[in-house]
Structure 1
Amino acid sequence: MSKIERSDGRGILAGDYLNENRTMTRQDWLEDCFPEWGTLLNQEIEDLKVEKGSVALWWLGGPSWMLKTDEDAIFFIDVYSGPSHYTQYYYCGVCKQAGANTINWMRMNPQLIDPWKFNRLDAAFSTHHHQDHCDLYTVKAALQTTNCDFVAPPKTVEKLKRFDVPDERIKTAIIGESVKYPGVEVEFLMNYDDTVIRTGDGVSLDKYENCCVSFLFKTSGGNIMFLGDTWYNDAYKAIGENYKVDVAIFDMGMNAPGATDKMTPYDCARLGETLHAKVLIPDHYDNWANTCSDPELLCSQFERLVSENTPNIKTVILRPGAKFIYPADQDIKRYRYPNQSEGYNSEKSISYGEYARKYGKNK
């Protein structure tokens, strides 16, 4: 039986087809099974018509996001398409903090998009140069299959150039400046990631503005701020007082004693209050085994801390692959995957539909 090609991105057809004695190679397995969602999410993102006065977000798991404006501009933000990996002391900021020769970063979250199969992409944003935020696989795919720009702080720009991204497709994110695309202006604001300033050859600390940036996407639906792998810092008070932040998106996780990498739920709640944000969405707590702890416990702690201390601020907990429309979805609290019941038809049911009425359940 020849392989059945689907045009809707849902992968291969199950049932009898998977019981066929078809030829199978490792390459067949990889193409059938990865990405786990096929191109379903690719097509959903490209096909969605965002209503005027709204902005659409998709959480891809880990630090990875996509955003679409009401003028059809589509963006990668910190998209990671890579595998588990390990880091070494000579370069890794977390290793240097902990005095560890190496750290294993075991990936837990699924790969939900095919970065090679977007027909349209306006820009790929990276908050900093860590591999899971400036990813070889994602960059190479976007470079070869789209005409998108690559927007990143100076240290990450150096990495993009090593990935053979040409100068004319790079926009350096200098604090205080901005870029415009259809339906959005993206301002480059300070970021206080104390891990990334330790990342690189040597042991001296680099400057924040050289290594990391916060992106404030100012859209007709609201202002969405991506903070990458930031730590809490009192200096965020200046951003909260001088900029309007509707939705703040930031890292959360647990750290082994001796090396801070992710913000704790308490740090996240405090950051949201400092930024005067309306809605808080944590990320990154699900994808690395060494910092994920119990995601359900982390999210529950975060929700409780915010509700007890700043009840005027809303929290949203998403699931990998979730679509979030702002401002329409700001009160969902926790995302639930669609159960697809809108496609059910009671008349076709062999249990309670026309068949059951005509023939009886036991006939």
Structure 2
Amino acid sequence: MKRDLAAEIAATRLPDDAVAIWSLGQCGFVMKHGATTIGIDLYLSNWVYELVGEPWSRTAPPPIEPEALPPLDVVLCTHHHEDHMDKRTLTALRWKEGAKLVAPRAHLPLLREWGFADSSLVGMNHGETVRLPGVDILAFAGMHADFERDAEGNHHFLSYGLTLGEIVLYHAGDTIGFPELVDWVGAAKPDAAFLPINGRDYRRTAAGIVGNMNYREAADFANDIGTKLVLPMHYGIFRHNDENPAYFVDYAYQTYPELPFHLMRLGERFVYWKAPSAE
């Protein structure tokens, strides 16, 4: 029998030292902590294919329609690639009263064009923090080959540290690893890190597809920032821009045998519980 994912999200109740995470594909997740429900980089349409055609068809349909999700308190977008800042999904979501859409400040003009009011938008740039009901957000700059900024110096690619009670989650969005990012994120002491593993190569670069950490870099980065858990992402939706997550498992197992990780299936609920400190 097919699970009612929307009902599962709405009904999930956890203690304050735990957060529920649902994988919705690519880099998209819903997180629930207490009464706060958050979405990030939700790609629940086939908009990339609608815009450019093959080879950008999905390998699997979305696990839920955007309008079927329970009303959300906060939605974050790390950058404007259509599989991370998806117009079809964002304009179909249901929102709680006073809900906020958080995105790089460089992309606010586009979101206004899509019909979002200034009162619902929160623009961020590297190093900035914002406190919203149920979550504190810290923005870090990301990059592909180089930092990309608008004319005012606002970064196009961000990643976010989310503090939910005593739990700190890091969502990398699209980025390669670089020494400054290790320092920034490591200082935030993330309990769990969502990291891309799809990598980059000559053929994809020649086709205009900018790349991210590969599976080795993701494991190395996770080890260097000292996270307690790695949740690999950015795989399983586009066949030509993909990676086998088993490669991450093998490399992490061989290189960092004490590094915890979990591979999430599409639509899966995973509960992260923060164990009490031994200190």
Residue 79 (structure 1) aligns with: 42
Runs of 4+ off more than 3 Å? 143-147, 193-198, 205-209
SS at structure 1 position matched to 2:216: helix
Q: What one-letter code is carried by the residue in structure 1 that aligns with 2:40?
A: I
Residues 1:308 and 1:209: Cα distance change in structure 2 (over 3 Å): farther
Q: Which residues of 2 match residues 174-213 of structure 1 at below 5 A?
A: 174-194=125-145, 197=148, 209-213=154-158
Pick one of 313, 322, 334 that aligns with 2:259. 313
Q: Which has the larger radius of gyration?
A: 1
Residue 164 (structure 2) aligns with: 219
1:66 aligns with 2:38: no
Residue 264 (structure 1) aligns with: 214
Residues 1:276 and 1:119: Cα distance change in structure 2 (over 3 Å): closer
d(CA) in 2 for partners of 1:104 and 1:195?
26
Structure 1: state its 5+ residue gaps. Answer: 1-9, 12-36, 89-101, 199-204, 330-363
Q: What one-letter code is carried by the residue in structure 2 that aligns with 1:59?
A: S
Residues 1:208 and 1:276: Cα distance change in structure 2 (over 3 Å): farther
Provide Cα deviations, 1:286-335, integer angstroms capped at 9, x if missing partner.
00111125xxxx32221222223223321111101111111279xxxxxx
Pick one of 224, 230, 236 that aligns with 1:280. 230
d(CA) in 1 for partners of 2:167 and 2:94?
29
Residue 7 (structure 2) aligns with: 43
SS at structure 2 position matched to 1:311: coil
Residue 18 (structure 2) aligns with: 54
> Between Structure 1 and Structure 2, which shows a larger proportion of strand residues?
2
If the length of structure 2 is used for normalisation, what is the TM-score?
0.85
Q: Which residues of 2 match residues 1-363 of structure 1 at below 5 A?
A: 40-70=4-34, 72-83=35-46, 84-85=48-49, 104-142=55-93, 147-194=98-145, 197=148, 209-220=154-165, 222-253=167-198, 255-258=200-203, 259=205, 260-293=210-243, 298-327=244-273
Provide Cα deviations, 1:50-86, integer angstroms capped at 9, x if missing partner.
222111111111111001112x111110001221517
SS at structure 1 position matched to 2:179: coil
| Range that drifts further, 165-174 or 241-250 | 241-250
d(CA) in 1 for partners of 2:111 and 2:211?
23
Question: How far is 1:225 from its partner?
Answer: 0.5
d(CA) in 2 for partners of 1:80 and 1:127?
12
If the length of structure 1 is used for normalisation, what is the TM-score?
0.67
Provide Cα deviations, 1:123-156, integer angstroms capped at 9, x if missing partner.
1100001111111111111367865211000222
SS at structure 1 position matched to 2:130: strand
Question: How far is 1:208 from its partner?
Answer: 8.4
Identity percentage of aligned residues: 22
d(CA) in 1 for partners of 2:146 and 2:27?
15
Residues 1:208 and 1:109: Cα distance change in structure 2 (over 3 Å): farther
d(CA) in 1 for partners of 2:23 and 2:258?
24
Provide Cα deviations, 1:242-266, integer angstroms capped at 9, x if missing partner.
2111111021225452415232211
| CA RMSD, 1 decimal | 2.8
Paired residues, number: 269
d(CA) in 2 for partners of 1:160 and 1:73?
23
Provide Cα deviations, 1:86-134, integer angstroms capped at 9, x if missing partner.
777xxxxxxxxxxxxx973221132112211344210110000111111
Residues 1:314 and 1:51: Cα distance change in structure 2 (over 3 Å): same
